Amino acid sequence: MDNGQRSLWAILGTEPTGDERALKRAYAKRLKVTRPEDDPAAFQELREAYEYALRHAHLFAEEFPEAQAAAVETPPMETAELWGVIDEPAREAQESQEPPAELWGVIAQEPAPPSELWGVVAIDPAQEAASLWQAFLEQSRHADAGEVLAGILQDDAMLNLDVREEFDLCALRYCASAGYELALRQALFEQLGWDRDFSYLARSHGDLVRAAVQRYRADRSFAHFSDNRDSYPGLDCIMSQQSPSAYARQLFDQKFTLQLRELLHAIRWQHAEMLAWKLDTDLFEQWEHAVHAKRYFKQTALASGGLGFVLHFMLAGVLDAAGFKLGDTAAYASLLGFQALAFALLAMHALRWPAPLFTRLEALQETLQDRLPVLWQRPGLRQLGWIAPYLVLALLLFLPERSDGMRLVTAAGLCASALLAYAMNRQLLHGMLLLLCLGLSLFAAMFMSGRGPSALAIGEAMPLMFCLAALALRCATGLYGDCGFPEALLPRLRAAWLIGCAGLLSLLYVQQLPAALVGAALYAWSCAGLLFSPTDFKWKTIWPVVLVPSLASVVLAGHAPAIRAMPMMHHSVELALAVLYLTLRYIYLSYRTSVTKPGLS
């Protein structure tokens, strides 16, 4: 019996009470969300619960006297019964008639229909709703719209579902029109629950609901973008409703244009209501055309100038490695020629001209994707393409004696590998990071430059160090994982690399094998170790590397002066010691984490 009563009040959505007026009010509210055409079973359950509660209202009044006393304080309803609430005599008279006629689950008496049938009251619902709506508009001018609407919704007339639907329809027409107030419309959406569900209105007034909701979302999007227009300069251009010609200078900035392109795409596909109701569609399309047509930026011009200087210095370094010197006239001609070449190449790339050539290149790229899907599914494998020729050329520098032709080929190949490394890591090497990488490469190249025929020339050292810095930066971002290799093998690979590195350093120290051969193997082994050791370039982490040159001198102390003066031998040992330090530090940090945190092996 207790469980049945609790289920009864849960169905009616009210506290236990024996007051018939409270039961009628609860039933009318539940009818709004429980309709026979939507869920017949739930409607039948609600109807049976309501009739059961009315029949036993006198028993509930004795069982819950406090709820009954609270209900008595409110004035009784003097109007006719609402929405299918039938008193006992009328119901008994209806049950005696045969055959019954059903209307919305209510049994009516055919010969003498009662004066009130399922919510049909003596007033016009449309007129009553219009009066309530006008009262709401008048009162909201002098008070908070949300509080006024909450009070009107508690009016007894709102218990009539016909009046409530007519009132909702008045509010819907108001929100779908152009002359609404934002505060009043916001209160309607919040109090009536339209920001969560409006399906009961969409069935009969789909066009009005669509217009009202679109205007509501357009205003919300417009307010959101207006609040953030100071944070995004490109957004200020769109919201200002000015033509793209007014911002011609800003469009030459690549960051500004790319940001504006993303904003336009977001507004087009995620805030279409704001575009349709709040913005000028023709002007918006002009912005889209101007932004997507812009390909050449001031950053492109700066990059062209930098590329021209790099190519000029590379040529000078290659010729210097071969024993040639550029005169003043040749130097000026080289500089201007490479500047013109760099501007032409980057302009062609930016403007995608000539179009047939770039179409052919895109078709070739698609063909490679079809034939070599592994390379495109694992982007890290493409990053390893330039490392193989770089290692071959770097190992040639360990030869004690090289001819002029060999030096020329080595220097030119290292320059080409540096350009290839930059092209494959262009997304990583940009801005201040590129300048830092170039500065470190220049400093290391000047530091490595020596005297004598076996010294490493500046033309070879600069691209050599740039490629090594690019490899270290790329490995720090997870090159091993991008290659698709199994992560579970990393601990074993690090252990194997540590053993191999210790063995090669020992062989170099005890001088059991030719020094050049061991140095070349140690350099290649160190480059491979970068793939397994996350490189950390923070000052707090990297400072012990300053001790590496001194340790390298200790390792090479017993060798002949020719070996000790060979820059590549020092470079090989220094790189091996630096990678060894970073690997041991990472293993130590991982082990300390596994000890302090349970559950890690």
- pLDDT tens digits, 489-498: 888 999 999 9
Q: Which carries the bigger pLDDT value, residue 190 or residue 344?
A: 344
Q: What is the mean pLDDT of the chain?
A: 81
Q: How confident is the model at residue 447 (pLDDT cuts 50, 70, 90)?
A: low
**What is the value of pTM for the model shown?**
0.59
Report whether the peptide linkage leading into residue 99 is cis, meaning its omega lies within 30 degrees of zero: yes
For residue 99, pLDDT beyond 70: no
CA distance 574 to 166: 85
CB 574 within 8 A of CB 485: no
Amino acid of residue 16: P
Q: What's the rounded mean pLDDT across residues 268-289?
A: 91
Encode 488-521: b = buried (16+ Cβ within 10 Å), e = exposed.
eebeebbeebbeebeebbebbbeeeeebbebbbb
% the chain with pLDDT above 70: 84
Query: How confident is the model at residue 289, as a pLDDT?
Result: 93
Find the mean pLDDT for residues 467-495. Answer: 87
Assign 316 a pLDDT band (cuts: 50, 70, 90): confident
**Between residues 317 and 252, the one the model is more confident about:** 252
Give the contacts of 449 (CB within 8 A, at least 6 positions apart).
Answer: 455, 456, 457, 458, 461, 567
> pLDDT tens across 81-90, in order?
434 444 444 4
What would the pLDDT profile of 542-596 be if each residue is shown by its tens digit?
889 889 989 999 999 989 888 888 888 988 999 999 999 999 998 888 887 666 6
Is the predicted pLDDT of residue 38 greater than 90, yes or no? no
- pLDDT at position 531 is 87
CA pair distance 239, 114, nearest whole angstrom: 62
Comparing C-alpha atoms, which of 402, 506, 387 is closest to residue 456? 402
pLDDT confidence tier of residue 227, bands split at 50, 70 and 90: confident
Instruction: Say what the pLDDT of residue 338 is.
Output: 94
Q: Count other C-beta atoms under 10 Å from residue 210's C-beta.
A: 13
Query: What local confidence, expressed as pLDDT, does residue 564 receive?
Result: 85
* Domain definitions of the chain by residue range: 2-78, 125-220, 244-293, 489-601
